[in-house]
Amino acid sequence: MSAPALELEGVRKRYGSTRALDGLSFQVQRGSITGLIGPNGAGKTTCFGVVGGLLSPDEGRVDVLGMGAFDPLKAAGRLGLLPQDCELPRHTRVQTYLRYLARLQGASTRDAALQTDRVLDQVALQDRRDSRISELSHGMRRRVAVGQALLASPELILLDEPTSGLDPRLVAQMRDLLVAQRARGASLLVSSHMLAELEAVCDHVVFMEAGRATRSGPLAEVTGRARIVHFVLAHPPELAALRDKLPELQARYEGNTLRVSLPTESSPAELNDRILAALLALDAGVLEVRPGESLETVYLSD
């Protein structure tokens, strides 16, 4: 198994008397998308700053791409970062600024132009390449900011609230963009308050609270996709009738949704088939089968 793309171990960072990070530990596996979830003030932005080398941790170990702490001279272009609440320079034209940043991470003038073209395609801003940043809407500026993190096709991409201020169509485009980055082998760490969006793209999640990871793991495990199945039914039958057919069933109703906990020793696929067969036999009218809890439900109940 290859080393993780990013590993934090016992990282602490204080601002005066405030503990922004208080022993934060988690990993981002190579070729995966990890969602970083937590309330405002949990330390997510500080975490991004520490990983990107913008902030110095007081204690702990940060290992970026197996090279230790991030050093822009040694790893130019291998890490892309979208920091939160950073304004792009207002007077600069979009392509001029992206080319400058590409050059700064080692690209030749020609490569910088090519990278800029590719990124402008990815964030759908080709038609605004010659616009000054001050002429762009908030959403467009956000896309330029995301685009700069994708220059040079970095191996590790850190995105702090990439969908903030984007309309639903652009959020969907952003989701496709993240998936495409993973498909080419990049590892991503993404923070967002839009949990449904994270759930749609993430392989792993990390819950943060008061500067530390309170829970982390594969999304399927955290949301219980292998252990819980929801059947949304048009005509929910009596539980007793179901248990007559499946005596080992552990289930309860939440409205017209049957929530089934699968025993760990059984094969989920086989059991699901049997439950589905029983529901069809009882004419329950199965409208939807949903594995696991929603990320939002898990997060809010944590």
How many residues touch another protein under the rule CB under 8 A: the total is 33
- Per DSSP, the three-state class of 208 is strand
| Segment holding 276, helix H or strand E | helix 268-281
Task: List the one residue from 67, 104, 234, 287 that touches another protein (CB under 8 A).
Answer: 104
Contact of 276 with 226, CB cutoff 8 Å = no
Strands (E), the chain: 6-15, 18-28, 33-37, 59-64, 79-82, 156-160, 187-191, 204-209, 212-218, 228-233, 250-254, 257-261, 286-291
Shortest Cβ distance from residue 101 to another protein (Å)? 6
Shortest Cβ distance from residue 170 to another protein (Å)? 21
The verdict on 153 binding another protein (CB under 8 A) reads: no
The verdict on 55 binding another protein (CB under 8 A) reads: yes
The verdict on 191 binding another protein (CB under 8 A) reads: no
Contact of 48 with 84, CB cutoff 8 Å = yes
Shortest Cβ distance from residue 128 to another protein (Å)? 16
Question: Following CA atoms 149, 150, 156, 158 in sequence, which dihedral angle do they give, to the nearest 10 degrees?
Answer: 30
Task: List the one residue from 23, 25, 96, 172 that touches another protein (CB under 8 A).
Answer: 96
Closest alpha carbon to 292 in 260, 252, 246, 257: 260
Quick one: 72 or 285, whose CB is closer to another protein?
Answer: 72
The verdict on 187 binding another protein (CB under 8 A) reads: no
Quick one: 26 or 48, whose CB is closer to another protein?
Answer: 48
Task: List the one residue from 2, 85, 168, 247 that touches another protein (CB under 8 A).
Answer: 85
The verdict on 101 binding another protein (CB under 8 A) reads: yes
| Beta-ladder partners of 190 | 35, 159
Quick one: 132 or 230, whose CB is closer to another protein?
Answer: 132
The verdict on 103 binding another protein (CB under 8 A) reads: yes
What's the token pair of residue 111? 């490569």
The verdict on 16 binding another protein (CB under 8 A) reads: no
Quick one: 34 or 46, whose CB is closer to another protein?
Answer: 46
Task: List the one residue from 9, 12, 31, 100 that touches another protein (CB under 8 A).
Answer: 100
Shortest Cβ distance from residue 64 to another protein (Å)? 11
The verdict on 49 binding another protein (CB under 8 A) reads: yes
Instruction: Draw the binding track, 57-76, toward another protein (x: CB under 8 A; -: no contact).
Output: -------------xxxx--x
The span from the CA of 10 to the CA of 75, in Å, is 23
286: which residues sit within 8 A by CB, 6+ positions away?
Answer: 231, 232, 233, 234, 276, 279, 280
Q: What angle do CA 171, 46, 137 make, to 5 degrees?
A: 35
The verdict on 87 binding another protein (CB under 8 A) reads: yes
| Beta-ladder partners of 206 | 36, 216
Return the residue matching tokens 């520490």: 50
Task: List the one residue from 27, 115, 122, 148 that touches another protein (CB under 8 A).
Answer: 148
Binding site for another protein (CB under 8 A): 49, 52-56, 70-73, 76-77, 79, 81, 83, 85-89, 91-93, 96, 100-101, 103-106, 132, 145, 148
